Amino acid sequence: MVHRRVLFYLGAMFNLSLLPGPLSRWCAFSEIPSAAEAAEVAANCLFSLATFEVAFNSRAMNFALTEQEHSRVWRWAIVSPDGVILGEGREPTQARAKGFAEKALELVAA
């Protein structure tokens, strides 16, 4: 389960007030400095922490993730503050997975 403090921490870490719109930049798992926060976010990883990235939505406190399932498949998901998967899918490239995740995150936040 992802706690609100983790989402708040991720939002503060990337200084969302300086970013346009509600979505933060994508963050690689290795860029999360706190082991506790990294462990909570990693609970949603199904395949590879080496390819795992998150983007935070400040309005809804949800976050998007992408990770490589295998060489030609990238998983994306939208996760609530309670750790519930609100939506997920698979795409042939990381760029498409991020695009779908960003759109889904905006729809969930609306």
Query: Could you tell me the residue range of the domain that residue 79 belongs to?
Result: 4-109
Q: Dump pLDDT digits (tens) for 84-99.
A: 999 999 999 999 999 9
Q: Examine the pLDDT at 20 and tell me if it is beyond 60.
A: no
Per the CB < 8 A criterion, the answer to whether 52 and 45 are in contact is yes
Closest by CA position to 64, among listed 93, 34, 25: 25
What is d(CA 91, CA 81) in angstroms, rounded to the nearest whole number?
A: 24
What is d(CA 36, CA 38) in angstroms, rounded to the nearest whole number?
A: 5
pLDDT of residue 69: 94
pLDDT of residue 8: 44
Residue carrying structure tokens 């706190």: 34
What is d(CA 10, CA 75) in angstroms, rounded to the nearest whole number?
A: 21
DSSP bridge partners of 90: 75
Looking at the chain, which runs of residues are DSSP E strands? 27-28, 53-56, 63-70, 73-79, 85-91
Count of beta carbons in the 10 Å neighbourhood of residue 70: 9
What secondary structure letter does DSSP report for 22? S
Q: Examine the pLDDT at 14 and tell me if it is beyond 80.
A: no
Overall number of domains in the chain: 1
Q: Dump pLDDT digits (tens) for 23-82.
A: 668 889 888 877 877 887 888 888 888 999 988 776 767 889 999 999 999 999 998 888
Determine if the pTM surpasses 0.85: no
pLDDT of residue 22: 57
